Amino acid sequence: MATEPILAPLHIPVAHHRVSYFRFTDYLALTKPEINLMIAISTAASFFLGATGDAQRFPWTTLIHTVFGTLLLAGGAAALNQWIELPFDLQMRRTARRPVAAGRIEPAQALCFGVGLSLLGAVYLAVLTTPLASVLAVLTLLSYLFVYTPLKRKTPLCTLIGAIPGAAPPLIGWAAARGSLDATAWVLFGILFLWQFPHFMSIAWMYREDYARASYRVLPLDEKADGFINLQVIVPSVGLMFLTWLPAISGMGWWYAAASLAAGCVFIYYGVRFVLEKTNSSARRLLAASICYLPTILTLMVVSRA
């Protein structure tokens, strides 16, 4: 009898703590942090490359505001994307466990969360960085949700359209650093634009049955699929290697040129292997290579500038 009042209060806060923890992780998963990590890296790198002045006067505070505000908008876009695509996420094995699809977060809650994050991010960027950075981020969100997302169920060319908002983070970072865009900012945009094609083709191949089950037309459904994949893997990969050389011509040095060439050759190697084999294992290797390649190139640029 004496143990009951002692044990009861010990269990209640533990259960409450566990519920709160799982709710937090569900809302965190709603923002797709694995994608936002790459967005944060590309935004920060472009800000660093665009910032003027020496190391002692580097605007570290503005850099933090830029990355944080961009992540708020990106997280809001991810939440809204899951709200929009709920009926289709339920049909795919790779997405059925997402918080909204699995029923752990109500659709109305995801909608409010996504809208709130997006508005907060837009205002945050406008006030604490530059209005241009905020405008670019909002345009990215709108084109992602209302142009690319519905196109995925209409045409395989959705990857071409979707690569535009996907390549926007460098523009946001550069605009936050300088308040305007120039040729170098568009080179960074072009690098991310081309990088997305082999990256996404590896994902589309691995989950082609899932995409087909949910009526996503990210790949052609006939014999043209092989040629479509080959084109979207090889051509952008080769173009990417030449585009990453442009900063070397503008003065980043021979060591950057050599390192970027080596990274490009490795990336092309895995792209060619995937094109020739068309297996899930070769697709996974290409995906891993793409995830390593982009941060490597951006890091080389940042180190060269530093």
44-53 pLDDT tens trace: 999 999 987 6
Task: State how far the alpha carbon of 258 is from the alpha carbons of 58, 133, 196, 255, 264, in Å.
Answer: 28, 33, 23, 5, 10
Would you say how long the chain is, in residues? Answer: 306
Contact in structure between 188 and 174 (CB atoms under 8 Å): yes
Q: Model confidence at 221, in pLDDT bands (50, 70, 90)?
A: confident
Both tokens assigned to 179: 């308040």
Provide the pLDDT for residue 22.
64
Q: Which two tokens stand for residue 88?
A: 């289709």
φ/ψ region of 179 (left if φ > 0, alpha if ψ in -120 to 50, else beta) reads left
Please say if the pLDDT value at position 54 is more than 70: no
Which single residue is written with the structure tokens 């992780």?
Answer: 25
**Residues 231, 225: Cα–Cα separation, whole Å:** 10
| pLDDT of 193 strictly over 80 | yes
- Separation of CA 41 from chain center: 10
Residue 12: what are its φ and ψ, rounded to 5°? -65, -50
Q: Please state the domain extents for the chain.
A: 17-179, 182-306
**Structure confidence at residue 201 (pLDDT):** 96
**pLDDT of res. 2:** 41
The three-point CA angle 300-305-306 to 5° equals 95
Q: Is the pLDDT of residue 6 over 80?
A: no
Question: What does the CA dihedral 205, 207, 213, 218 come to, rounded to 10 degrees?
Answer: -50
pLDDT digits (tens, 9 = 90+) for 26-37: 999 999 999 999
**279-292: average pLDDT:** 96
- CATH of the structural domain 17-179, one choice from 1.10.10.10, 3.40.50.10380, 1.10.357.140, 3.30.565.10: 1.10.357.140
**pTM score:** 0.89
Quote the CA–CA distance of 66 and 164 in Å, as a whole number.
20
SS3 at position 157: coil
Tens digits of per-residue pLDDT, 196-214? 999 999 999 999 998 988 8
Which pairs with CB-CB distance under 8 Å and at least 24 residues apart come from 150-159? Answer: 152/216, 152/217, 152/218, 153/88, 153/215, 153/216, 153/217, 154/217, 155/217, 156/217, 156/218, 156/219, 156/220, 156/228, 158/217, 158/218, 159/196, 159/197, 159/200, 159/201, 159/204, 159/218, 159/232
Computed over every residue of the chain, the mean pLDDT equals: 89
Quick: pLDDT tens for 60-93: 999 999 999 999 999 999 999 999 999 999 998 8
What was the pLDDT predicted at 19?
Answer: 52
pLDDT value, residue 55: 65
Query: 10 Å Cβ neighbour count for 172?
Result: 32
- Residue 166: pLDDT above 50? yes
Whether the pLDDT of residue 13 is over 70: the answer is: no
The mean-pLDDT minimum among 120-134, 176-190, 212-226 falls in: 212-226
1: pLDDT strictly greater than 70: no
**Tokens at 5, concatenated:** 């009042």
Q: Within the chain, what is the greatest distance between any pair of CA atoms?
A: 81
